[in-house]
Amino acid sequence: MEEIAFLRDERGEIYPTIENFYKFCGMGKLMAVRCSRCGRLILPPRPMCPECYSTDLGWVQLSGRGRLETYSEVYVPPKNFASKSPYVIGIVRLVEGVALPGQIVVDRGEKAEVGMELSVDFESAPAEGWPQWPRYFFRPVDRK
Amino acid sequence: MSGRALAAIISAGLSKFGKLEGLYSREIFLSAAKEAFDRCPNLNPKKDIKSLFIGQMSESSEHQGHTGALIADWLGLNPTPSVRLESACASSGAALRAGIQAIMSGLVETVMVGGVEKLTHLSTSDATEYLALSSDNFLEQWHGFTFPALFALIARAHMHKYKTREEQLAAVAVKNHKNGSKNPKAHIQKEITIEQALNSRIIASPLRLFDCSLISDGASCLILTRPELAKRYTDEPVYIVGTGQASDTIGLYEREDLTSLNSIALAAREAYRMADVGPDDLDVVEVHDCFTIAEIVSYEMLGLCGKGEGGTFIESGQTEIDGKIPVNTSGGLKSKGHPVGATGTAQVYEIYLQLTGQAGKRQVEGAEIGLTQNLGGHGSTSIVHIFKRNI
Ligand SMILES: [Zn+2]
């Protein structure tokens, strides 16, 4: 089932890169890496732990659950988002403690709120041309 | 090093800020340089200037790179070494620091530092993308985060935690436009009302059009020399007594506290210590009000008021020109304009005018000590400088 070709290191392990992170998103998985030496959870994954400089890092799947720390409704978008405007973006603090920025998809008329519970979801197919990989986004928990 | 001069400013120049149609970056820079040369007749640019440091955020707006060499050539300063420095909106703040470091190293005596940007020919969406370059591409830009949106996230967090209100954000815009109306080089020399600001259209909630700085063209420059040589060139040098710079995460989401911009506090701490100056000693301050919330957070990070008190501080009137600690007498990025690469040394230009009594209708009486705070991106870079009239 694994049609997605990951960049791998010399041991054959999936390399902790941003592109591989998004390839996992394409498989419906929100993944981080944990440093085997100091235990730090790193999101998005980096090839080297910024804390202890270890490159011994293992992939872990995240729950995708979290709370909205702050948000904004964007009315003046960049070109690639012109058709979506206005849309909501925010920073989500995941239950694992790390945070991610992303789009918050709420129903028309529904308001985003600081502290609201969110759950991750993924775009179904790689977008044409841009960006190269499917993105994750968040939606209110009780809507799923 | 405490309290001693690191370098002296012997001259300064600023182009008109605004929509400078028909002028490219190199030509805009010449008008800033011409003012600096004319202001200092004892300077022989070809003989005295030994190095150039030029800030510019991106070469993409004119499809013209190699800006260091370009500016040296157009100033008639070949073969003087010249480089471009890039630190987003703190590019010329970084150029200033590089100039100070060059002088302090003993390698050169006199340098020109400055910055330039040409933005107004871009469409709104192209300018939006251009400015977003300084955030995290794969995590922020890919998800539709614009620069106003990133500062909106800070504003929302600040409003949530400290009950900061939209009226307090608007008060920053009103003050800075009032100051800018007294600045003949400002992009928009017009006062605005608080109602106008509060009723302007939303760009990225809770930020409205009047919470955002202007997209402008412009250039600025300074001539620096070793402190002991300053009086050779001018009777009224301004001394640089503190410099500080700090980096923070390239993604806003990685910050523990979204209501702070810690890099400002860290850069300020370094500069204050070097200058042996504290917030209470300052007579005039220019802060990086790319958005109104940024000025409010800057007050707090620089120690002009306590954490979370920025909103009530602007309402107290203490940062007005006739207040206890005037901030952004130039009009700030909000009214004077924000040609990003030019902004850092343009802030210093205002402090130079203030400390030498040349600020006209916006002069702060008896100003002796000044500070500039220049931000790159959403605080991934912060640069703070402190200046004294007498040493
Ligand atoms: Zn580690």
Pair B131, B147: CB distance under 8 Å: yes
The conformational region for residue A3 under phi > 0 = left, psi -120 to 50 = alpha, else beta, is alpha
- For residue A4, the model assigns a pLDDT of 76
**Mean per-residue pLDDT for A130-143?**
84
d(CA B261, CA B255): 9
- What distance in angstroms lies between residue B90's CA and the mean position of ligand 1's atoms? 31
pLDDT, tens only, B320-339: 999 999 999 999 999 999 99
Query: For chain B, what percent of residues have pLDDT higher than 90?
Result: 96
Interchain CB distance below 8 Å, A90 and B153: yes
Segment among A95-104, B133-142, B345-354, B370-379 with least mean pLDDT: B133-142
Is residue A1 predicted with pLDDT exceeding 50?
Answer: no
pLDDT, tens only, B283-317: 999 999 999 999 999 999 999 999 999 999 999 99
Is residue B249 predicted with pLDDT exceeding 50?
Answer: yes
Query: β-strand A87-94 against A65-74: which pairing, if any?
Result: antiparallel
- What distance in angstroms lies between residue B330's CA and the mean position of ligand 1's atoms? 46
**Mean per-residue pLDDT for B147-151?**
97
One of B40, B89, B290, B305 is an active-site residue; which one? B89
**Mean per-residue pLDDT for B339-360?**
98
- What distance in angstroms lies between residue A33's CA and the mean position of ligand 1's atoms? 10
- For residue B1, the model assigns a pLDDT of 61
Max CA distance (Å), chain B: 57
Interchain CB distance below 8 Å, B204 and A73: yes
| B251 vs A contacts (CB less than 8 Å) | 101
- For residue B2, the model assigns a pLDDT of 76
- For residue B295, the model assigns a pLDDT of 98
- What distance in angstroms lies between residue A57's CA and the mean position of ligand 1's atoms? 8
Tell me which long-range contacts B81-87 makes (C-beta under 8 A, separation of at least 24).
Answer: B81/B50, B81/B51, B81/B52, B82/B51, B82/B52, B82/B53, B82/B54, B83/B52, B83/B53, B83/B54, B84/B54, B84/B55, B84/B56, B85/B53, B85/B54, B85/B55, B86/B55, B86/B56, B86/B57, B86/B58, B87/B55, B87/B376, B87/B381, B87/B383
Min Cα–Cα distance to chain A from B286, Å: 28
Is residue B359 predicted with pLDDT exceeding 50?
Answer: yes
Is residue B385 predicted with pLDDT exceeding 60?
Answer: yes
On whether any CB of chain A is under 8 Å from the CB of B249, the answer is: no
**Mean per-residue pLDDT for B368-381?**
98
d(CA B87, CA B332): 19
Is residue A144 predicted with pLDDT exceeding 50?
Answer: no
- For residue A128, the model assigns a pLDDT of 66
* Catalytic residue list contains B338: yes
Of B124, B126, B142, the CB nearest to A135: B142
One of B158, B177, B187, B338 is an active-site residue; which one? B338
Pair B72, B78: CB distance under 8 Å: yes
**Mean per-residue pLDDT for A50-75?**
97
Interchain CB distance below 8 Å, A82 and B138: no
The pTM of the whole model exceeds 0.95: yes
**Mean per-residue pLDDT for A83-105?**
96
Helix (H, G, I), strand (E, B) or coil at B48: helix
Pair B195, B350: CB distance under 8 Å: no
**Mean per-residue pLDDT for A79-93?**
93
Residue of A nearest to B141 (CA): A78
- What distance in angstroms lies between residue A63's CA and the mean position of ligand 1's atoms? 22
The residue with tokens 């001394």 is: B239
Query: B131, B203, B205: which to substitute to probe chain A, counting the most A Cβ within 10 Å?
Result: B205
Among the listed residues A65, A61, A67, the one whose alpha carbon sits nearest the alpha carbon of residue A29: A61
Residue B203 DSSP symbol: E
Work out how many CB contacts closer than 8 A connect A with B.
94
Is residue B9 predicted with pLDDT exceeding 70?
Answer: yes
* Average pLDDT over all residues of chain B: 97
Question: Using 50, 70 and 90 to split pLDDT, how confident is the model at B241?
Answer: very high
* Catalytic residue list contains B66: no
Is residue A98 predicted with pLDDT exceeding 80?
Answer: yes
Pair B111, B363: CB distance under 8 Å: no
Per the structure block, which two tokens stand in for B292?
A: 């109104």
Query: β-strand B52-55 against B110-117: which pairing, if any?
Result: parallel
Residue B196 DSSP symbol: H
